Amino acid sequence: MSANPQPRSFVTGDLDLLISRSLDGDLPGEEERDLQSLLVADPSARARYEAMARVVGRLEELPDPEPPFAMSIRVNAQLEDDTKGFAASLHKFGFYFRPATIGVIAAGIAAVTISYSVVPPPKPAATIAAASEQSKAQPAAAPEDDGRVNAYFAEPERKKDGPAPARESAAAAPAAPAPSAARARSAAPLADALAEGRADDEKRLNRQQPTLGASSEASLAKNEDLAFAPEPDTASRAAAAPAPQAAGGLRAVASAQVVGPSTGTLRLAAPARLDGLPGPFEGSYRLDLDGTGRVTSVVRLVGGSGSEPSGLSERLKDLSFTPAEAARTAGTVDVKVRLP
């Protein structure tokens, strides 16, 4: 007999919970006794209990749905298909990567590979600084490491907007695509740098620095030391960043180059003005030099092609060569002039 003769009253929710738990055998002894007392005393609670017990009974009597015929065989067969592939093969080795995980890893590897192959890794700051410094003084050079130097000389007159930005192919060249200030610096004529007597210019000029412009010039003539590009626009473009070339990737420019025994010891101290001279012409000249490297007389050597344009000898007399000691020692220098 319960210690409490008056059964507790419950709100509907509490009663449903108690009835439900009672039907499942989940009520502790005292609560079960309280509920039974209530059911005896309260017909509506008793009716509620019976209704819920009836529903639970009907639920439990519901037959299990019959699985379709041979479903487990189909599931296994389908699993066999779905679990083929790389992820499934790893299962044999005790790895249970999900396909999505494999996909993410593969995508990451592919992204890194592509980024390294397409985008060059950033240069260290020191390397960039050195390349920038080189680009100021040496805009173009020969592509082959044959000990010879190809250099394009720009006109003294600077064009701020003239140089085109360096292209991807010039990545091997010292000047990468640069801001306008850097482009302006790289467009500065090498002659200016030489005239300023920078101590390291000779070393730089002797060093190979492959660029597109240098390649074109190198293909035109072997054994050239210095190439003069008298046409202002052409010269400044070539000095800053070699422009796209004509057919075959080559662009012929008027040039004068040291040949013969003075190759590698004498070089031009100032740009030559060969623009406006009609071509095509190619000829060799022997220039007598004074003690300062200036030209005193011009003699055309045998050979060559095309007719010599008038005024060429006078222009060659305007040339001067450096270093003065080498000019004084040599006394003469042979140059090859080419007019496209």
State the residues that interact with another protein by CB under 8 A.
12-13, 16-17, 19-21, 24, 26, 48, 51-52, 55-56, 58-60, 62-68, 70-80, 82-83, 87, 91-94, 96, 98-99
CB of 51 to another protein, least distance (A): 5
Cα distances (angstroms) measured from residue 68 to each of 62, 63, 176: 18, 15, 70
CA neighbours closer than 13 Å in the CB half-sphere of residue 13: 0
Shortest gap between Cβ of 7 and another protein (angstroms)? 19
Nearest distance from C-beta of residue 168 to another protein, angstroms: 45
Q: Which is nearer to another protein, 56 or 164 (CB)?
A: 56
Alpha carbon distance 184, 166 (integer Å):
12
The span from the CA of 141 to the CA of 209, in Å, is 5
Kindly tell me which of 74 and 198 has the beta carbon lying closer to another protein. 74
Asked if 260 and 291 count as a contact pair (C-beta separation under 8 A), the reply is no
> Shortest approach of another protein to residue 57 CB, angstroms?
9
Comparison of 11 and 302: residue with beta carbon closer to another protein: 11
User: Tokens 């309260």 correspond to what residue?
Assistant: 42
Q: Report how far apart, in Å, the C-alpha atoms of 142 and of each of 65, 169, 173, 206, 306 are.
A: 85, 14, 10, 10, 27
Compute the least distance from the CB of residue 98 to another protein, in Å.
5
Q: How far are the Cα atoms of 85, 87, 99, 109 from residue 90, in angstroms, in the given order? A: 9, 5, 11, 18
User: Closest distance between another protein and the C-beta of residue 66, in Å?
Assistant: 4
Q: Which is nearer to another protein, 75 or 111 (CB)?
A: 75
Minimum CB separation of residue 19 from another protein in Å reads: 7
* Residues whose CB is less than 8 angstroms from the CB of residue 80 and which lie 6 or more positions away in sequence, other chains included: none
Residue nearer to another protein on the CB measure, 55 or 109:
55
Minimum distance from residue 12 beta carbon to another protein (Å): 8
Q: Considering beta carbons, is residue 5 or 94 the nearer one to another protein? A: 94
Q: Closer CB to another protein, residue 10 or residue 286?
A: 10
Give whichever of 33 and 48 is closer to another protein, judged by the CB atom.
48
Nearer to another protein, 43 or 63 (CB): 63
64 vs 24, 61, 70, 75, 339, CA distance in Å?
A: 20, 9, 17, 19, 99
**Shortest spacing between CB 105 and another protein, in angstroms:** 15
